[in-house]
Amino acid sequence: MSLLATCIDLSAIAHNMRTVKAAAGGARVMCVVKADAYNHGAREVVPVLDRHGADAFGVATFAEARAVRAVTDKPVLAWLWAPGQDIPEGIDVAVPSLGHMASLIDATRTCPAFNPQVCLKLDTGMNRGGIDEEEWSEAFSLAARAGLRVTGVMSHLACADEPSNPSNDVQAETFRRAIALARSHGLDVSCNHLANSPATMSRPDLVFDQVRAGLALYGLDPLGADVRDGLRPAMRWVATVLSVKRVAAGEGVSYGLTWRAPSDGYTAVVSAGYADGVHRAWQGCLEVGIGGDLYPQVGRVCMDQIVVWLADNPAGVVAGDQAVLFGAGGLGATELARRAGTISYEVVCSPGGRTERTYQGEDRQ
């Protein structure tokens, strides 16, 4: 028995893929599987997404792209790289600056047989990455003259998790202007994408030719609700009760004795700490599910373990019981994020260290 594991439900992944596909209407769906599929395991998740409607995959780095390319024949786009990096064969490349474009053009001139599909990444108002509007004409002209195989343009919404935020409409209009300008320079931009998960689920007018779905594929609502549109959370993080200890009223627990028992009772030591991804910032926010009941985490989070307060332990919790850190039987990742002042993306990316990843569901092959 593993002391600490994430349990990934591949049937939930398949269900969420179908749900996102329906929300996208007739648009293509690029599944974002960066950071090892948001910590769900790209090697197992990508084939499930592939079988249930994915049209393409998106990642951050070339290393991630190679790993995804090994398990799918669908297009794989990478968008986080530095000029001068070796660009792997068989990977689509996003170009976020004139410097990146110059590096890519140099690579194609050095090796004429090398001519990857390219998506031009444009800044439409987020001001994080992408070619600035005043450089669009130069970028489109350079790409056309160099004969780059430009498939489309892409950009990223800054406030998609606020569907009515006027900046979404401003960015969309800027994006439409970019598409028209690219076409006026002779580029055949037929696969353009702006919408991420929240926009896909809430703003059908921003779908364009393709959407880039991430969080929704893993069953978490990108707009911050616990459940939306039938999405099913795919990750459950479970630990083990290592011991149950009696403490007297007023006795302190864990480093610094920062928490003291309000009455005579019992504590349980659970096999997860900050080395495994239980952030110290979760102190006072986390409740652990044991046998269907929630128990508060108390005291300081340690490197290898946490302590939970069982009060008088009416359910008879014992060593060896399963303790749910988040997921079915415990707090939802969205609720934990809300309490901790963060986002569910960070919560599902947290399990690590000694956590083992396991899989279940009918879609496992």
Which segments of 185-227 does DSSP mark as H helices, in order?
197-202
Under 8 Å between Cβ of 175 and 194: yes
SS3 of 277, please?
coil
Instruction: Report the first-to-last Cα separation within the chain, whole angstroms.
Output: 23
Tokens 């031009």 sit on residue: 120
SS3 of 14, please?
helix
Q: Any bridge partners for residue 359, and if so which?
A: 8
Which residue in the list 34, 121, 218, 345 is annotated as catalytic?
34
SS3 of 235, please?
strand
Closest C-alpha to 222, from 363, 16, 60? 16
255 is catalytic: yes
Which residue in the list 38, 218, 255, 359 is annotated as catalytic?
255
With vertex at residue 78, the alpha carbon angle to CA 76 and CA 84, rounded to the nearest 5 degrees, is: 130
Q: Any bridge partners for residue 357, and if so which?
A: 6
Tell whether the torsion through CA atoms of 159, 161, 162 and 168 is positive or negative.
positive
74 is catalytic: no
CA distance 343 to 337: 5
Element (H, E) at 173: helix 166-184
What the block records as the tokens of 320 is 């060896």
Phi, psi of 350 (to 5 degrees): -80, -40
Which of the residues are catalytic?
34, 255
